[in-house]
């Protein structure tokens, strides 16, 4: 079945450092890929998405490129801020399935030190 | 503003009592979902509904029940049969199979503590 694997955390970086959170997936159909962010005590917010191979999603300085050849969707940011401290979830929606479900990774907790 | 509301934000109940968590959306979405999140853990799907008056079990449905009598509402009841109900509960919605990208929109969550 479909699955999402993302790097385990926590990831701790200093402010202005470069960020990469790895995400790989398996899917039987033609997935759309997402990154969600969860701040402490809150629900998830969609950070960015990509719907087909080679698409690049971007938002708030974060980017991720849909790489079909490596089945990856790594999240990157050139210069992180303390306010980026949160949990990040990689996810996919497989359009080959008609159940409207999204498959989430287990999440990666990010700590940014001032 | 369109969005998803969950109430209450914090809920305390005594062991053995049933409790119902509210979820309302005004996004005109067909599909709605309930997830459970434990500290430091990912999301686990409890129930989901693709259309009014129909719903399906997710991965951890035991001890929970839902109803979908209206498009905008999807309440979750945590019954006394749920062995470890203390958790953070998240409701979400999406356009459903009528929409191609099918991203989910989340509510702010309800933190349930059973004493």
pLDDT digits (tens, 9 = 90+) for B58-82: 999 999 999 999 999 999 999 988 8
Length reported for chain A = 114
Cα–Cα distance, A83 to B88 (Å, whole number): 22
pLDDT beyond 90 at A81: yes
Q: Which of A32, A42, A98 sits opposite B108 (nearest CB)?
A: A42
A46 interfacial to chain B (CB closer than 8 Å)? yes
User: At A60, is the pLDDT very low, low, confident or very high (cuts 50, 70, 90)?
Assistant: very high
Query: A2-47: per-residue pLDDT in tens?
Result: 899 999 889 999 999 999 999 999 998 779 999 999 999 899 999 9
Residue that the structure tokens 């990689």 belong to: A90
CA distances from B114 to A76, B110, B111 (A): 39, 13, 10
Q: Which residue has the higher pLDDT, B103 or B102?
A: B103
A101 interfacial to chain B (CB closer than 8 Å)? yes
**A18 C-beta neighbours (distance < 10 Å), count:** 10
Quick check: B42 and A102 CB within 8 A? no
Chain B partners of A41 at a C-beta cutoff of 8 Å?
109, 111
A40 interfacial to chain B (CB closer than 8 Å)? no
Quick check: B42 and A107 CB within 8 A? yes
Cα–Cα distance, A24 to A67 (Å, whole number): 9
Quick check: A100 and B108 CB within 8 A? no
A59 interfacial to chain B (CB closer than 8 Å)? no
């Amino acid at each position: 079945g479909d699955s999402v694997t993302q790097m385990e955390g926590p990831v701790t970086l200093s402010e202005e450092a470069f960020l990469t959170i790895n995400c790989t997936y398996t899917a039987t159909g033609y997935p759309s890929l997402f990154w969600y962010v969860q701040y402490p005590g809150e629900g998830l917010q969609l950070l960015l998405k990509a719907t087909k191979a080679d698409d690049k999603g971007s938002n708030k300085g974060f980017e991720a490129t849909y790489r079909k050849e490596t089945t990856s969707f790594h999240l990157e940011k050139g210069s992180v801020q303390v306010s980026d401290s949160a949990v990040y979830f990689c996810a996919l929606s497989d359009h080959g399935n008609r159940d409207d479900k999204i498959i989430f990774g287990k999440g990666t907790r990010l700590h940014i030190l001032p | 503003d369109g969005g998803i509301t969950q109430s209450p934000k914090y809920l305390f109940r005594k062991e053995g009592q049933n409790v119902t968590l509210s979820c309302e959306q005004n996004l005109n979405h067909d599909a709605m979902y309930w997830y459970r999140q434990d500290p430091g853990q990912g999301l686990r799907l409890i129930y989901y509904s693709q259309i009014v008056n129909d719903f399906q079990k997710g991965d951890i449905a035991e001890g929970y029940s839902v109803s979908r009598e209206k498009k905008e509402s999807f309440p979750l009841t945590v019954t006394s049969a749920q062995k470890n109900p203390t958790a953070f509960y998240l409701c979400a919605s999406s356009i459903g199979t009528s929409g191609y990208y099918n991203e989910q929109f989340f509510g702010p969550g309800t933190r349930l503590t059973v004493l």
